[in-house]
Amino acid sequence: MDDEAAVEVALQYVEYLRTGDDVILATAFTPDHLDHVSGQRGVEIMRTVRGWLDASFADVSHEVHAVTVGGDIVSVWFSSTARHISSAFPPLGGRPATGRVVVAEAVHVFRVVGGRLAEHWAVRDDLGVLRQLDAPEQLPIERDRPTFRA
């Protein structure tokens, strides 16, 4: 698989977060996909995580900042901006809804096999989100990140 195709399939993860389109899970992920964050196989964990995020945040947008490819590994750095409406997402620790707008930074790393996402790792700034939620007042939203152009 060439680098451009690997980038396109990795960006399907962000598209799934945007849309919740199950077709993406069937076409972009291998059936035995391994999510190293949860230790689970299969795409059901992706549905679960998206459900947690949908229940916890409204007015969500995603901005991809960079995508890198090295062999069969593709890394996607993106931020998600959203309004906190509940704490269904486990890292939020049951905090009451604040209504605050937060920015969540993450780098997601995928191994691509046969043109599909076979493995997933993530480095998320959950602590940064908690700091934004727990601050005495709404923190300013930084917008000085690069924007990826395919």
Instruction: Tell me the pLDDT band of 50, cut-offs 50, 70 and 90.
Output: very high
Question: 108, 13 in Cβ contact below 8 A?
Answer: yes
pLDDT at 79 over 70: yes
Q: Which of 105, 95, 106 is nearest to 133 (CA)?
A: 95
Cα 88 to the chain's mean position, in Å? Answer: 16
Q: Which of 5, 13, 3, 1 is nearest to 107 (CA)?
A: 13
CATH T-level topology, domain 3-134 = Nuclear Transport Factor 2; Chain: A, (3.10.450)
Question: 148, 66 in Cβ contact below 8 A?
Answer: yes
pLDDT at 18 over 90: yes
Instruction: Tell me the pLDDT band of 150, cut-offs 50, 70 and 90.
Output: low
29 burial class (0-12, 13-18, 19+ CB within 10 angstroms)? buried
Write down the pTM of the prediction: 0.91
Q: What is the mean pLDDT of residues 6-30?
A: 96
Q: What is the CA radius of gyration of the chain?
A: 15
Provide the sign of the torsion angle of the four alpha carbons 41, 28, 147, 57, taken in this order. negative
d(CA 124, CA 79): 10
